[in-house]
Amino acid sequence: MYKDGTNCILPKSSLSNCVCFKKEIRCNGAGNCICPWGQYGLNCKEYIKDCKDGIDRGISSSSTILVAIKPSPTLEPFDTVCVMNNQGWTTILDRLSSSNRINFNRTLADYKEGFGDNQVMRWLGFIRIHQLLSVTANYFRLMVLIVSSNGSACYSYYNNFDIGPAPNYILSGNYLHGYSKCGDSLVGLIGKSFSTADRDVTGKGCSTLFGGGWWYDAANGCSDTKGVLTAMPEPFWKNDLNADIPKRISMKILRL
């Protein structure tokens, strides 16, 4: 995702569909600079707060791009994937069902810190998600994008998306009927705590049974609430594309 291929996560042989951007600041004597994605201002020392802030500052791209963001002046900047072609969605999860390169069967501490790479297998982590959700007093919308094995895609949306503080990370949100085409697999989990194998709060061992971490509901043997962060070979969405196994799942948030 770096413009000239430098520091790209993928090998050059895999870059046929990858847009790259080298993080390089070039300034002339007059102080005019060409800044990397996500940076602006004098000598490119300022960072956008999130992908929506990038849109508001005139950043746009027809491609999904890797952007440096800094939700608060007191925080260190970090990279995330932005959709800059319209509203400015910030990616918090990207996962391919066909890849076992990144292990999602992890501890609560791992889910807190985040893991994976910036290409197509990453969980941003509760610490950084909380930073994003604290940018302003605005509320947020969650988008779940599901791509099926035949390449077709659908979306589900949730307004008033929020995640509570550690250690329970309780899920909040309202399903948007009429706009969502993938169906709903989260509303039944609203108010639930996040479980991992090393901290399962369901009392039924849901995280041990399915692996990974999720807002499991112990009802029905946890089977109705297997989530996209589980350690199973394929991520699961209860009401996905006519029961087709998803090829890719992405979760993105938008500040409204």
One-letter amino acid for residue 248 of the chain: R
Pick the CATH number of 88-255 from 3.90.215.10, 3.40.50.360, 2.40.128.110, 1.10.10.10: 3.90.215.10
Q: Which of 59-68, 86-95, 239-248 has the highest mean pLDDT?
A: 86-95
Stronger pLDDT, 153 or 221, i.e. the higher one = 153
State the pTM of this model: 0.85
Question: What number is the average pLDDT over the span 121-126?
Answer: 93
Lowest-confidence segment of 28-32, 170-174, 238-242 by average pLDDT:
238-242
pLDDT the model gives residue 40: 86
Question: What number is the average pLDDT over the span 217-234?
Answer: 66
Q: Give the chain's mean pLDDT.
A: 80
Question: What number is the average pLDDT over the span 177-196?
Answer: 81
